[in-house]
Structure 1
């Protein structure tokens, strides 16, 4: 079988890119080993336009957010299901210093598009919420029902015989003058969307990926307000019927996908700093995010093998970033347009040449 593109991996990055390429009339095959605890499936799929303790707008949010909204609206129309849940995010101040930091930051510019209200003391709306220093209500937040979205896109691929549900075997890949050959498959181009496992990819292991383990809990509690997402050291996302998803930890030292008692304890303690509600832990997951040293995605062609590309490194921001960047990359691959310098892997080409000097791989 001959294709225009082979996409390896069907997390949020690979799924979004494959959908975008297919929408533009390209023949696409996705190769993906089914895995229940992939980082995308474990994640809460959160979109937060104001991130971090420094109260900065998320990178390129004014561009990424409208595009993501439109993309998920399109998927909802296609599949006749609600997939993106719009909810405000109540960022609870942990200390008076954090409150003061926000008051200083908010004086620097117009935040009205993303901040609905600022509270300098408890809102008093839910006595179980521990927000004695107040907080800010962030607009235009929400979360993607990510596992359901990926499943629908997989079904779409299956219906068109565009899915090979197996582990990609690197030793079966051959580079040709026309593109690539893999088993009985040929294609003009292959794109790796493997997430953290790119650290084992012989063509792209030189990229500065930092696999970061994250653990997530699902808890059951009946009387906690489900009208907003809470954020205070962890996020607390209402997912329906008294269930809340709590996450996530950040662990660079244990690059495995096994839930730990320490992770459960950390998340439980932080949840208890937000609410006094009693709760029961119903589920506990762990996954590995593909984080990058400079916190920008890794997108672009291999410096020597033009038939190979990477679309990766979105960390915990894949739901927000992937739709716009997938469209940008699809145009670059099909029409030869330019990528954003901030995401292009050319910023790390020097690492590739250092890698060749030290390893001299036979690629």
Structure 2
């Protein structure tokens, strides 16, 4: 069987890229080992155009936000099911100093419609602790990531375009015309493996930092579900009085096991947002593929142009993946390269160091 592309990995990045390639008319085979956990499946799917304690507009937000809106609208129409919910994000000031930091930055015109309102005092919502006020952020929302992945998986299975198995690197052969995997041929293979790329002999030199994140699902019937809250953690409504609360950032324990320390950190931070009673229903952990400079990784292998990588979106995949998938697909079709900010060539020195080390091996 001959394909245009093989995509290895069907988390958020791989799913959006493989769908994008198929919509552009390409024959795509996805290889993915079924897993109940993973960073994409446990994440709340938050899209936030304003990020961090410094109130910085997300990198390329003016490009990524409309592309994400268009992509998720199209995906909902394709499946006839709501997957993305637009909601304002109430970023609560943690102190007067944080309020002052925002007031000093907000005079510029770059914020546009991203800031719906600035509150220098509490919004007087009974369930929310916001004595210093906060900002109401527009163009935010959350994607039902697990539901999206399930729908796309079912579609691939129905069309015979999914191999539900662990990718066996030793079965991969590089040919003049592309690649061969077992009995499958393709012109190009794209790795979308998340943090597992660190075990990939072709791309393990990339500076992926596995970052464990823990997430809770809580029931809090007294909390207004018409808003996403952020103060140290995000609080995302998921329906029925339930909210996802997350996430922790742990570089020291690169595993997917929930921990008592993680739950304690999340419950303490959640209690700073609301003093109303709640019940913890679920506790998950996943590993994000974070990158040193906080920008994604995409591009062809330096020596094997039939191999590419599409990875490293960290906690921003819902925002960035739709545009970058289109951008990457167009580059693959035209034989050109992706934008320098995401191209893996920015870490080419690491590749050469890796090759030198390999040459030293007996």
Q: Would the TM-score normalized by the shorter structure come out above 0.5?
A: yes
What's the counterpart of residue 60 of structure 1? 60
Contact (CA 8 Å) 2:299, 2:337: kept in 1 or not? no
Query: 1:230, 1:36 → 2: CA distance?
Result: 27
What's the counterpart of residue 119 of structure 1? 119
Query: 1:58, 1:337 → 2: CA distance?
Result: 26
Structure 1 counterpart SS, 2:195: helix
What's the counterpart of residue 146 of structure 1? 145
What's the counterpart of residue 69 of structure 2? 69
What's the counterpart of residue 339 of structure 2? 340
Query: 1:232, 1:62 → 2: CA distance?
Result: 24
Structure 1 residue 210, shift from structure 2 partner: 0.4
What's the counterpart of residue 212 of structure 1? 211
Query: 2:111, 2:105 → 1: CA distance?
Result: 10
Structure 1 counterpart SS, 2:113: coil
CA displacement, residues 162-188 of structure 1 (integer Å, 9 cap, x when unaligned) = 000011011111111111111111111
Structure 1 residue 110, shift from structure 2 partner: 4.4
Structure 1 counterpart SS, 2:170: helix
Note closer, same or farther for the CA distance 1:129–1:238 as it changes in structure 2 (3 Å cut).
same
What's the counterpart of residue 184 of structure 1? 183
What's the counterpart of residue 314 of structure 2? 315
More off after superposition, 59-68 vs 109-118 = 109-118
What's the counterpart of residue 19 of structure 1? 19
What's the counterpart of residue 9 of structure 1? 9
What's the counterpart of residue 230 of structure 1? 229
Matched, 1:262 2:261: yes
Structure 2 counterpart SS, 1:62: helix
Matched, 1:137 2:136: yes
Q: How many residues align?
A: 361
Structure 1 residue 338, shift from structure 2 partner: 3.5
Query: 1:338, 1:2 → 2: CA distance?
Result: 24
Structure 1 residue 350, shift from structure 2 partner: 1.1
Structure 2 counterpart SS, 1:113: helix
What's the counterpart of residue 107 of structure 1? 107
Note closer, same or farther for the CA distance 1:105–1:81 as it changes in structure 2 (3 Å cut).
same
Structure 1 residue 128, shift from structure 2 partner: 2.3
Structure 1 residue 361, shift from structure 2 partner: 8.4
Note closer, same or farther for the CA distance 1:333–1:97 as it changes in structure 2 (3 Å cut).
same
Query: 1:95, 1:189 → 2: CA distance?
Result: 52
Structure 1 residue 359, shift from structure 2 partner: 2.1
Structure 1 residue 160, shift from structure 2 partner: 1.1
What's the counterpart of residue 274 of structure 2? 275
Matches within 5 A, 1:238-257: 238-257=237-256
Query: 1:127, 1:161 → 2: CA distance?
Result: 52
Structure 1 residue 108, shift from structure 2 partner: 2.9
What's the counterpart of residue 175 of structure 1? 174
Structure 1 residue 8, shift from structure 2 partner: 0.1
Query: 1:43, 1:190 → 2: CA distance?
Result: 27
Gaps in structure 1 of 5+ consecutive residues: none
CA displacement, residues 168-219 of structure 1 (integer Å, 9 cap, x when unaligned) = 0111111111111111111111000000100111100000000000000000
What's the counterpart of residue 291 of structure 1? 290
Note closer, same or farther for the CA distance 1:352–1:14 as it changes in structure 2 (3 Å cut).
same
Query: 1:328, 1:111 → 2: CA distance?
Result: 25
Gaps in structure 2 of 5+ consecutive residues: none
Query: 2:36, 2:220 → 1: CA distance?
Result: 25
Which consecutive aligned stretches of 4+ in structure 1 deviate over 3 angstroms post-superposition?
Answer: none
Structure 2 counterpart SS, 1:284: strand
Structure 1 residue 5, shift from structure 2 partner: 0.5
Structure 1 residue 152, shift from structure 2 partner: 0.7
